Amino acid sequence: MYDVWKNALAEIEQQISSANYSTWFQDTSLISTKDGNVRVNVKNTFYIKQLQNRYYDIIKKALENNNVQVNSLTFEVQATTKHKIRPREVIKSTSISSHLNDVRSSLHIKNSSSVSQTTPETGLNPKYTLDTFVVGSNNDLAFSAAKSIIDSPGTRYNPFFLYGGPGLGKTHLIQAIGNELVKRNPNYRVFYTPISHFYSDFIESIQNGKGKEFNRKFQKLDCLIIDDFQLIVNKEKSQEEFFNIFNDLYQLNKQIIVTSDRLPNQIKTVDERLASRLTWAGAFDLQLPKFEDKCAILRAKAEQIGADIEPEAIEYIAENVNTNIRDLEGEFSTILLMSEVRGLTPLELIQNGSISVNKSSKMRPISPKQIVDKVAKYYNLSTTELKSKSRVSHIMLARQVAMFLLSKELNLSTNKVANEVNVKDHTTVMHGIKKIDKALKLNFTLRDQIEEIKERLYG
């Protein structure tokens, strides 16, 4: 049975990224295949949902390819051992400062004054790779597009416009694309630069009478990667220069990659022609990770730095950090640091109250009535209209958005949501929530609307 599962895992490993494989499959084992009822052992309950939803077909096919009949496939938690950081001898207060530096180094925690190591020719940081980018429901579309770009740069997704809030992995993903392109073809000319550097270099070239040389430097590229495009506000000359460089590269089928914290048409003073061109091939957003995604990110981080941490501690951090991935990893590193200093495991720190994690984008508590009222007002409706039986499209949309927010922000049951929006059948609520959840994958306008409503709720 061990060999069967080992062979199946080897086949699965060829079909997914190494980061996802190590996160979801490394600690699995085969319990039984009796009568075609396959049972797989996993470490924690949140693994079950991920394996069922994302990898069920892959696992089933891999087993069948190894002569295992699969009538049913279930995932169970049977492991009894826990992976913990070994407690160290409690450090004397006189040596804490020096020890903190040692631990920071071992955990790859950088001081604010440290400078990332980049390759001068490309501007890329080699630490950003596809293998260390954890794929989840919050970024899977963007990741799929990134892989297509690597396989065939300058074609389908060109330009590639990626947007989302801070700390969600935009810089990681675009630099990973650049690093992979160079890895596959060392002669491929890639250059990464934040728009602020583009602007300052352009101004310097004009002052020194080297504007043409600045332009020619970009014309030689096979791939141009621009980060933080939103900072180009009120820089008309830089916009014009970038517009010309963009057009020249695009005509030559050279790959262009741009990130921003919002869509181009939402950036004030950006030329309409440039804003339109940036989204010719669509726009991809990175969303806030869900609970399962956060758990996967933390587990991958732990494996990357060689730290064992209890699953309960990972779940605690994932549950309590609701801002972005940067904050999530920051809290994770802090807990590991405190664990080393105090000689306790992360879970012990949490359980005895030595450390508390509570990072949330929600600034104050809200009520169901506030959500319904805010949604109605946002869509220029009265609360009575939102709660009516009307089937007019814009009223139905507002009602479904209210359902979605009542469910996601307050965790209300479908029956309670139905009561709040005056809907009798809870299946209508389930349909409405599912419809909005699905639409958010591709409807960026709707996502911006919901984010704006949330800002009004919590602001």
For the chain (459 residues), the mean pLDDT of every run of 10, in chain order, is: 82 78 80 90 73 86 90 78 40 43 47 52 92 89 94 95 92 97 95 93 91 90 96 86 95 96 85 92 90 91 86 90 88 89 86 74 77 95 94 94 92 91 90 90 80 82
Domain for residue 394, yes or no? yes
Q: Which domain holds residue 247?
A: 140-285
Domain for residue 343, yes or no? no
Can you give the CATH number for the domain in which 277 is found? Answer: 3.40.50.300
Give the Cα separation of 346 and 334 in Å (integer).
10
- pLDDT at residue 290 in the model: 87
β-strand partners of 212: none
- pLDDT at residue 114 in the model: 36
The reply to whether 149 and 265 lie within a common domain is yes
Q: Is 425 exposed, middle or buried (0-12, 13-18, 19+ CB in 10 A)?
A: exposed
- pLDDT at residue 360 in the model: 67
Can you give the CATH number for the domain in which 72 is found? Answer: 3.30.300.180
Give the Cα separation of 375 and 48 in Å (integer).
35
Cα distances (Å, whole numbers) of residue 254 to 251, 381, 422: 8, 47, 54
Domain for residue 186, yes or no? yes
Give the Cα separation of 304 and 316 in Å (integer).
20
Q: Which of 22, 31, 75, 79 is nearest to 53 (CA)?
A: 75
The reply to whether 412 and 275 lie within a common domain is no
Number of structural domains (the chain) is 3
- pLDDT at residue 44 in the model: 65
Q: What is the pTM of this model?
A: 0.65
Cα distances (Å, whole numbers) of residue 279 to 155, 230, 233, 300: 14, 14, 18, 32
Q: Amino acid letter at 15?
A: Q
Q: Which of 47, 51, 58 is nearest to 16 (CA)?
A: 58
- pLDDT at residue 129 in the model: 94
The reply to whether 281 and 149 lie within a common domain is yes
Token pair, residue 201, equals 């270099």
The reply to whether 278 and 415 lie within a common domain is no
Kindly report the backbone phi and psi dihedral angles of residue 72, in degrees, each rounded to the nearest multiple of 5, phi listed first. Answer: -145, 155
The reply to whether 145 and 27 lie within a common domain is no
- pLDDT at residue 223 in the model: 97
- pLDDT at residue 351 in the model: 84
Domain for residue 353, yes or no? no
The reply to whether 172 and 274 lie within a common domain is yes
Domain for residue 318, yes or no? no
The reply to whether 262 and 149 lie within a common domain is yes
- pLDDT at residue 364 in the model: 62
Residue 42's H or E segment, with its range, is strand 37-42
